[in-house]
Structure 1
Amino acid sequence: MSELRVSRVAEQMKKELGDIISKKIKDPRIGFVTVTDVSVTGDLQQAKIYISILGDEEKKQDTLIGLAKAKGFVRSEIGKRIRLRKTPEITFEIDEALEYGNRIENLLRDLNEDTR
């Protein structure tokens, strides 16, 4: 399958997921969630949704549990919004890239202050 189609499906899913999670899911365990990336396999059968969650570690785990419980609903909503023969199976993962980038930035700032 063409890489262009896979990337277009991933982008469309990312857009729709942001809307679904913020407006349609009413689970109180789910906090402030941002969809940072969607990775779809070449055959469009699997999709990994990378999310960033505002809050402490406990809030992140609660949000992941809430999203896991709502996975079927989210998948059916995506199926209604995106025209695909088969809606991909979805998994949610916390995107550690933002925290990693902030940590590196803080380390560099500390090093820069120490050299002055």
Structure 2
Amino acid sequence: MTATRAVNIPRSPSGSAAPRPGVRPSTGRTGTCFDNAITESFFASLECELLDRRTFRTRPEAERVVFAHIEGFYNPRRRHSANDRLSPAEYERRQALKNVRPVTRPA
């Protein structure tokens, strides 16, 4: 059970939330690395594809199974719409190749 409480946040003249001293405003926007939709999707997939289907006797057993699922299936093989239908591992590999600069040798 969770409880949610509405809070009135003072607004600046521009309409954005006025940050209190020591509090940084949110930097997240849809489609940025700060957007947690991908993280929420990951945990929903993990729960549906793995956790709802079995029971674990111990925490270490659960940790081993979750690790094996992530490293053996989720990262190398499962395709994601946020990654142009590529697996996370393939997406990272392609991004790394884009950032490789050819080695230039002095003449």
**Which TM-score band (shorter chain)?**
0.3 to 0.5
Structure with higher helix content: 1
**More relative contact order, 1 or 2 (CA 8 Å, 6+ apart):** 1
Compute the TM-score of the two structures, normalised by the length of structure 1: 0.34
